[in-house]
């Protein structure tokens, strides 16, 4: 769950014996056994550090059980990285498992965007029932093909040519395997070989015929 979760939700998930990782705000109070209440912001989390606290009380309210709390802030590299750390409420068991599980939805969100505004515009098809199922199947096949093609371009080291065009008002270039696979074929067709400094089609592994 990417949004901030609640202790009430975590308690309900525990009752259902469901594993979870919920992000909580840094202002949340926690209490380790035998220690005083403190805010998560007082745990000293800074870029490049992490911690895992098993069996702590989370919130001042009574009636909730104990949870594990993980803190993780990835080290910044060349001024690139998260602006703030993650405070995670979980029952998974280890810091590594909690962080890995929390990262999964980001990949799913990217896939949703590829199938919608970032690629196939599925939401604008206004299809329903059987037509929607058929369309999703076709998109799944096309999506897989685009990723495979993009991976081939990257392995051949030519993604920097395909991904060098920048969209209007876009701060970062697109370099995903999906995008390169989806639009790389257009670049190859436009290049038409080695003219204008472009690489020939046969270098890309594509038959000119």
- 8 Å CB contact between 149 and 178: no
- 8 Å CB contact between 58 and 22: no
In a domain, 1, yes or no: no
In a domain, 109, yes or no: no
Alpha carbons 38 and 30: distance in angstroms, whole number = 6
How many domains is the chain partitioned into structurally? 2
Residue 91, both tokens? 């029952």
pLDDT of the chain, 209 residues: tens digit per residue: 445 678 888 888 988 999 999 999 999 999 898 889 899 999 999 999 999 999 999 877 766 678 999 999 988 776 667 788 999 999 998 999 999 988 877 667 777 778 777 778 888 888 888 888 898 899 889 888 888 888 888 788 777 666 655 555 555 555 677 877 877 767 666 655 444 434 444 444 444 44
- 8 Å CB contact between 180 and 150: yes
Alpha carbons 18 and 90: distance in angstroms, whole number = 10
Asked whether the whole model's pTM tops 0.85, one would answer no
Q: How many CA atoms lie within 13 A of 134 on its CB side?
A: 7
In a domain, 76, yes or no: yes
Task: Clarify whether residues 131 and 174 are in a common domain.
Answer: yes
Alpha carbons 143 and 147: distance in angstroms, whole number = 6
Per the structure, the complete domain to which residue 133 belongs is given by 116-204
Structure-token match 């030519």, residue found: 158
In a domain, 143, yes or no: yes
């Amino acid at each position: 769950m990417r949004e901030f979760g609640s202790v009430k939700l975590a308690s309900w998930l525990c009752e259902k014996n469901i594993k979870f990782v919920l992000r909580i705000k840094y202002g949340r109070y926690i209490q380790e056994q035998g220690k005083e209440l403190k805010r998560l912001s007082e745990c000293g989390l800074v870029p490049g550090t992490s911690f895992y606290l098993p069996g702590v009380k989370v919130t001042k309210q009574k009636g909730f059980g104990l949870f594990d709390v993980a803190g993780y802030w990835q080290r910044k590299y060349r001024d690139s990285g998260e602006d703030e750390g993650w405070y995670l409420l979980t029952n998974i068991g280890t810091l590594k498992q909690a962080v890995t599980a929390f990262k999964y939805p980001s990949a799913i969100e990217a896939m949703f965007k590829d199938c919608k505004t970032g690629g196939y515009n599925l939401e604008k098809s206004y299809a329903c029932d059987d037509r929607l199922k058929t369309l999703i199947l076709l998109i799944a096949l096309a999506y897989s093909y685009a990723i495979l093609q993009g991976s081939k371009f990257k392995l051949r080291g030519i993604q920097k040519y395909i991904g060098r065009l920048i969209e209007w008002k876009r701060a970062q270039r697109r370099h995903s395997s999906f995008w390169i696979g989806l639009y790389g074929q257009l670049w190859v067709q436009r290049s038409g070989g080695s003219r204008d400094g472009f690489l020939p089609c046969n270098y890309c592994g594509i038959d000119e015929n």
